[in-house]
Amino acid sequence: MSCDTEKYMSLIDKALDRDITELEQKELDIHLENCEACREHYYALKEIISDMKESAPVVAPDHFTEDVMKRLPAVKKKRMPAQWIRRYPVLTAAAVFLILMFGSVMANWSTGNELSVVSGSDNVQIKPSTHTVIVPKGKTVKGDLVVENGDVRVEGKVDGDVVVIKGKKYMASAGQITGDSQEIHQVVEWVWYKLKMFFTGEEQK
Q: Is 32 in the site for Zn ion (CB under 5 A)?
A: no
Nearer to Zn ion, 8 or 190 (CB): 8
Nearer to Zn ion, 38 or 184 (CB): 38
- Beta strand 132-135 with 145-148 is unpaired
Tell me how many residues contact Zn ion (CB under 5 A).
4
First to last CA, the chain: 57
Q: Is 45 in the site for Zn ion (CB under 5 A)?
A: no
Name the minimum Å distance from CB 86 to Zn ion.
22
Angstrom distances, CA of residue 144 to CA of 37, 66, 176:
58, 48, 13
Name the minimum Å distance from CB 37 to Zn ion.
5
What is the DSSP secondary-structure string of 7-47? HHHHHHHHHHTT---HHHHHHHHHHHHH-HHHHHHHHHHHH
Name the minimum Å distance from CB 32 to Zn ion.
8
Listed ranges 35-43, 68-76, 115-123, 166-174: which one lies at the site for Zn ion (CB under 5 A): 35-43
Name the minimum Å distance from CB 69 to Zn ion.
17
Which of 11, 12, 38, 135 lies at the binding interface for Zn ion (CB under 5 A)? Answer: 38
Which of 3, 44, 98, 100 lies at the binding interface for Zn ion (CB under 5 A)? Answer: 3
Question: Taking CB under 5 A as the criterion, which residues in 146-165 touch Zn ion?
Answer: none
Nearer to Zn ion, 72 or 101 (CB): 72
Nearer to Zn ion, 8 or 109 (CB): 8
Name the minimum Å distance from CB 64 to Zn ion.
23
The single-letter code of the amino acid at 18 is R
Name the minimum Å distance from CB 96 to Zn ion.
30
Q: Check: CB of residue 126 under 8 Å from CB of residue 120.
A: no
CA-CA distance, 195 to 115, in Å (whole number)?
21
Which of 11, 20, 28, 35 lies at the binding interface for Zn ion (CB under 5 A)? Answer: 35
Site for Zn ion, rule CB under 5 A: 3, 8, 35, 38
